Amino acid sequence: MSDLKAVFDSLYRDLLLRDLGAKVTPGLIVLVAVRIGMTSVPETLGEMSSAKLGAWLVIIAVAWLTGLAVQGLGEITGKITGKLWFFPIRYFPAAKNSSEWVQLLLDFDRVAKDDPDQQRRFERFVVVKEATGNGCIALVVAMIFLAVTKQPSWVVWVVGAFAVVGLAVLHHGSVTRNWEYAEMVVAQNGTPKKGDVR
């Protein structure tokens, strides 16, 4: 039983949630929007429902790469948009900097390395913040593409706008909660010194 739990924990942390939720799903949003723009909704849905396993493996691989591109686009928007409240996707709160984030990660890894529950909770925050950030950017890209190719109805715009804002708000909230949780765990266990093995 413990071996099965270890396998599940590894999949949970290293593959399933982060890759499916934060890379494959945003990538699929963009790919589906592109396909709808080139054909139609019914034709796209028909193609998806009739695709064989081999085709789905290729689609998922391309979606994963597209999701990485979406994440990269989100990082680029950080250099362009600066202070806009919901762009770009973030890894740490705006008031912090990357060296503080790296130090907090190192401290958290040292103090939580023997506690799978703390690692799982931390990873959950990471998964949610990446999935919501990448999902937000993917929806913006998809809506722009569909606006150019299909000129969707106002209902699509309203639902899309609600989804973009909702994902953006949840993303930034998750970024803050991720940071605060890591700080709390480090504070409760004491900040370890370099070379301190716990």
pLDDT confidence tier of residue 196, bands split at 50, 70 and 90: very low
Report, as an integer, the average pLDDT of 135-147.
93
Residue owning tokens 């907090």 = 104
DSSP 3-state assignment of 94?
coil
Query: Cβ(43)–Cβ(50) under 8 Å?
Result: no
What is the predicted pLDDT for the residue at 13?
Answer: 57
Report, as an integer, the average pLDDT of 139-162.
91
CA distance 108 to 85: 28
Tokens for 108, please give them. 């958290």
Per residue in 45-76, pLDDT (tens digit) is 999 999 999 999 999 999 999 999 998 888 77
Q: φ, ψ for residue 82 (rounded to 5)?
A: 60, -100
Report, as an integer, the average pLDDT of 96-103.
89
- Residue of 127, 120, 116, 126 lying closest to 20 (CA atoms): 127
pLDDT exceeds 70 at position 8:
no
Residue 38 neighbours by CB under 8 Å, 6+ apart: 149
CA distance 147 to 107: 46
Tokens for 117, please give them. 């529950």
